[in-house]
Amino acid sequence: MNDHPEGIAAARTDTGRRVVRAACPHDCPDTCAMQVTVEDGVAVKVEGAKDHPFTQGTLCNKVSRYLERTYSGDRLLHPQKRIGAKGEGRFTRISWDEALDTIAARFREISASGDGPGAILPYDYAGTMGLVQWKSMGKRLFHRLGASLLERGICSSAGKEGIRLTLGASVGMDPERFEDAKLILIWGTNPIVSNLHQWTRVQEAKRRGARIVAIDPYRSLSAEKCTDHIAPLPGTDAALALAMMHVIIGENRHDRDYVARHTLGFDQLAGRVKEYPPERVAKITGVPAERIVGLARDYASARPAAIRLSYGMQRYAGGASAVRTITCLPALTGAWREPAGGILLSTGGWLDMNTAALERPDLLQASPNPRPRCINMSAIGDALLEAKPPVRALYVYNSNPVTVAPDSRRVIAGFSREDLFCVVHDIFQTDTADYADILLPATTQLEQWDIHTGYGHLYVLANNPAIAPLGEALPNSEVFRRIAARMGFDEPCFRDSDEDICRQAIDSKNPRMQGMDWEQLKQTGFKRVNVPQLFAPFAEGGFPTPSGQCEFFSATAQKTGLDPLPTWVPPRESVQSAPDLARRYPLAMISPPARNFLNSSFANLAFAIDSEGKPKLDIHPDDAAARGIEEGNLVRIFNARGEFEAAARVSERARPGVVVALSVWWKKLSPDGRNANEVTSQALTDMGGGATFYDCLVEVARL
Ligand SMILES: Nc1nc2c(c(=O)[nH]1)N[C@H]1C(S)=C(S)[C@@H](COP(=O)(O)OP(=O)(O)OC[C@H]3O[C@@H](n4cnc5c(=O)[nH]c(N)nc54)[C@H](O)[C@@H]3O)O[C@H]1N2
Ligand SMILES: Nc1nc2c(c(=O)[nH]1)N[C@H]1C(S)=C(S)[C@@H](COP(=O)(O)OP(=O)(O)OC[C@H]3O[C@@H](n4cnc5c(=O)[nH]c(N)nc54)[C@H](O)[C@@H]3O)O[C@H]1N2
Ligand SMILES: [Mo]
């Protein structure tokens, strides 16, 4: 057993001053290269690496304050067990041995019971995106146990499915080329907040004369600074894209040569877009027809034209269809011909690591439950209350579901079950931690090894531990090793060190990974995958789809009973789909990221809370006036699922019919003990099993 992960022992005896190469672990497309200065074993400075071509020496507001997170007085430092009621948050200190013996005993008892190991469920997301601390030892342990599988649909799975249908994989243009574009569509993303280093590139393009158009129902910080802002109603982007294609094809502005050589199903697409003339789509989107026509013409004529798509528009019933549809645009106009043309949702597919070696799904075969059920994390409330056989043990790490999962009443009812054995491993005592039976202290990124890939750039990064763990905190990998040992699992992979795992991650046959070497990566901090500097991935076609073409028509979709062509699926909660509901709850609520929070991470730190102030609701002056709401009034936001409170901010930032609750606030740190997820829904997307946080009708009243 590996009691002290390699390197941490060395850090403990560290004297003098040194600079350590690190990687930002957070769920953000920028995955920054960091440098940590350590003096006598204490981290004294965290900065962006100047030599990293995407980070370029700057960190965001949050991570530049990473030392405040690491050395926060609120850190969990010892294992604890619950002594109060579930949710109350009262605990008493115990030893690691007692904590781990308790967990192993419960796992053994449940596995041997009639319910079997499928009654155990891991719950994890991207609190750290590291392959060691997220995607290896935990997966191995739960596979070997035969626990239920978790479908990780809370964020991006709908969009990934959409882009896979059209392009074949989660791949796109090189983010480092955006400055050479002449037109950039910032579509469903607020890069100043959620993709800062991409924004730097977009600003550079603007300085060189490019037009930047935001497509967002909200005048976000980024939309405010674009050349143009088009504000469609939430969840109508696919209709907008279909109308753009209607204009482009109707006016013969498509690239016939590119379409003929590198796409599949043009004639069928041309038939489909006839159903979406701009006049009809103006009614669906709330965007005037002439603006749609103008956008289509501009997009078809600008060279190079880039689209930065992000996950905002896929948090709806039709999320996958929206991404699938928008992704047809650059093939239709031949934008892929240039390195600065095309579309980018995620670069993740260019950086595929050796997942089988990391996660070891083969270990399921050694378990008593080789074909476990799969539970979608976005519907954890329903799963905890209704699944049969029941979920009897839940192991939460890298995630804070009581705060971030939709439909809080159901989530909290599930977590409150007396018969549920709940382990939470976190850096802080989150809302979720308050429901734990066993609460374990986690290390921060400065205290652990890891290896990272970006999803908004093309680099692999190393994270060296800078300091020794605080208190008795342990990395995820080490806790899983110790549980595996207690369960008697003797496969050698449970003895792999963290650095062994880093080596396994890049041990890949993928030609883009050739030449990746862990010893070198540790020293230099990062390396770009093997693709040309001027990377135009689909200039000559070669899409990773079954046909090798960009698939307007998808036989894959057809085989599974889905529409083989791009289409608009209206929001589940909209006038089109649910007119009665829309009369009772006439406002569409979206709850995108607040600038100083990262999901619920940082939302407990004084500097972040001070910057955000208090929970707010952006509401248009017309909608406010109709309800007698004035600037600063405390309002109640409610629907049949629940309610929460916020201070009204009356302005045209929110378009009429839409209210915006920037998120995600910790419940226990909010004045009313609630947050926006009281009203969001557990329903899933059309494809990909994604969450539908923004497909959410509400009413608002002054308190
Ligand atoms: N500071 C900060 N950065 C973050 C995060 C954070 O919480 N805080 N979260 C990280 C994570 S986990 C993710 S997944 C990414 C998310 O990054 P983004 O995808 O950029 O963020 P989203 O919240 O998904 O959406 C951003 C924008 O989409 C808009 N939007 C909402 N609905 C629609 C719609 O129907 N159509 C269109 N066109 N636009 C719409 C919102 O108004 C918002 O301005 O950011 C990451 N970065
Ligand atoms: N209303 C609304 N809800 C949303 C969203 C929204 O836009 N609106 N966005 C959704 C999206 S896109 C996402 S991705 C999810 C994100 O939801 P989560 O994945 O739950 O992300 P966080 O809220 O940041 O919580 C991550 C937790 O992991 C902990 N952590 C960090 N590093 C480590 C580590 O090394 N070990 C351990 N054990 N713990 C660690 C952090 O302290 C933190 O408590 O939220 C979703 N929820
Ligand atoms: Mo996310």
| pLDDT (tens digit per residue) in 234-280 | 999 999 999 999 999 999 999 999 999 999 999 999 999 999 999 99
Same domain, 515 and 548: no
Contact between residue 223 and residue 190 where contact means Cβ atoms under 8 Å apart: yes
The residue type at 458: L
Contact between residue 53 and residue 176 where contact means Cβ atoms under 8 Å apart: yes
Residue 373 confidence (pLDDT) above 80: yes
Q: For residue 408, what pLDDT band results from cuts at 50, 70 and 90? A: very high
Share of the chain above pLDDT 90, in %: 97
CATH number at residue 427: 3.40.50.740
Contact between residue 315 and residue 691 where contact means Cβ atoms under 8 Å apart: yes
**Domain limits for position 362:** 80-155+351-524
Task: Output the CA 314–ligand 1 centroid distance in Å.
Answer: 10
Q: Does 476 reside within a domain? A: yes
Q: Which residues of 554-566 are buried (b: 16+ CB within 10 A; e: fewer)?
A: beebeeeebebbb
Q: Which residues of 195-234 are buried (b: 16+ CB within 10 A; e: fewer)?
A: bbbbbbbbbebbeeebbbbbbbbbbbebbebbebbbbbbb
Share of the chain above pLDDT 70, in %: 98
Residues in the ligand 2 pocket, defined by CB under 6 Å: 27, 125-128, 133, 154-155, 397-400, 403-404, 425-428, 430, 442, 476, 591-593, 598-601, 663-664, 676-677, 680, 693
Same domain, 481 and 586: no
Q: Does 58 reside within a domain? A: no
Residues in the ligand 1 pocket, defined by CB under 6 Å: 27-28, 155-156, 187-190, 193-194, 215-218, 220, 234-235, 237, 310-313, 590, 592-593, 595, 597-599, 694
| pLDDT (tens digit per residue) in 374-385 | 999 999 999 999
Q: How many residues make up the chain in this entry? A: 703
Which of 427, 449, 605 has most ligand 2 atoms within 8 Å of CB, for mutation? 427
Contacts of 179 (CB under 8 A, 6+ apart): 201, 202, 204, 205, 208, 340
Provide the β-strand partners of residue 652. Answer: none
Pick the closest to residue 330 from 315, 345, 311 (CA basis).
345
State the average pLDDT over residues 410-435.
Answer: 98
Which atom of ligand 2 sits closest to the CA of residue 448? 35
Nearest protein CA to atom 13 of ligand 2, as residue? 155
Total domains present in the chain: 3
Same domain, 137 and 188: no
Which atom of ligand 2 sits closest to the CA of residue 440? 38
Same domain, 150 and 162: no
Q: Which helix (H) or strand (E) holds 267?
A: helix 266-273
Mutual angle of helices 498-505 and 476-486, in 10-degree steps: 110
Task: Output the CA 401–ligand 2 centroid distance in Å.
Answer: 8
- The sign one gets for the Cα dihedral 649, 60, 680, 307 is positive
Same domain, 308 and 456: no
| pLDDT (tens digit per residue) in 181-225 | 999 999 999 999 999 999 999 999 999 999 999 999 999 999 999
Q: Does 314 reside within a domain? A: yes
Residue 10 pLDDT: 42
Residue 12 pLDDT: 47
Q: For residue 172, what pLDDT band results from cuts at 50, 70 and 90? A: very high
From 524, 545, 570, the end of a domain falls on 524
What SS3 state is found at 18? strand
Q: Does 220 reside within a domain? A: yes
Contact between residue 217 and residue 190 where contact means Cβ atoms under 8 Å apart: no
Angle at 135 between CA 415 and CA 365, to 5 degrees: 85
Angle at 245 between CA 694 and CA 278, to 5 degrees: 75
Same domain, 597 and 648: yes
Please give the mean pLDDT across all residues of the chain: 96
Residue 2 pLDDT: 38
Half-sphere exposure of 503 (CA within 13 A, CB side): 7
Task: Output the CA 352–ligand 2 centroid distance in Å.
Answer: 23
Same domain, 94 and 221: no
Same domain, 302 and 163: yes
Same domain, 631 and 592: yes
CATH number at residue 659: 2.40.40.20
Residue 602 pLDDT: 98
Which atom of ligand 1 sits closest to the CA of residue 315? 32
Task: Output the CA 476–ligand 2 centroid distance in Å.
Answer: 15
Residue 6 confidence (pLDDT) above 50: no
State the average pLDDT over residues 503-525.
Answer: 95
Residue 218 in tokens: 């909200």
CATH number at residue 284: 3.40.228.10
Residue 509 pLDDT: 87
Task: Output the CA 130–ligand 2 centroid distance in Å.
Answer: 14
Residue 15 confidence (pLDDT) above 60: yes
